Amino acid sequence: MDHYPLLDLFWTMLWFFLWIMWLFLLFKVIADIFRSDDLGGWGKAGWLILALLLPYIGALVYVIVRGGSMGKRDLKEAQERDAAFKAYVREAAAGGSDAKAPREGKHVDDLAKLAELKDRGAITEEEYQRAKTKLLV
């Protein structure tokens, strides 16, 4: 009966995980190609063809050539999502039109100030949660 030595199992797992990481990188590259505003249609088509026909070389070349701007696009998208979420929360919180509205408006401002303090690192998550609970009760 053949056996499968532990070292062979280790190498198999290593290659499997490297393959999975490469797939994640390939999908990230393809997503970045489509969301990149500085590439025209032909540029996107060229990078996509390279990434799909020669996936290992295409992904590697793309990361070398455009890797720095990938991070900048990720950061910009995250900041836009965060700003849109905060704007939505402010709009939803300020939307009340009953007798409590002035009092709730004050709470919204206080919560916004608390969130800003937490984002700057002036208060910890625990302090933020405690102050938020006091405001909302």
What 3 state SS string does the chain have? Answer: CCCCCHHHHHHHHHHHHHHHHHHHHHHHHHHHHHHCCCCCHHHHHHHHHHHHHCHHHHHHHHHHHHHHHHHHHHHHHHHHHHHHHHHHHHHHHCCCCCCCHHHHHHHHHHHHHHHHHHHHCCCCHHHHHHHHHHHHC
Kindly report the pTM of this predicted structure. Answer: 0.53
Segment 48-92, tens digit of pLDDT: 999 889 888 988 899 899 888 888 888 888 999 998 888 888 888
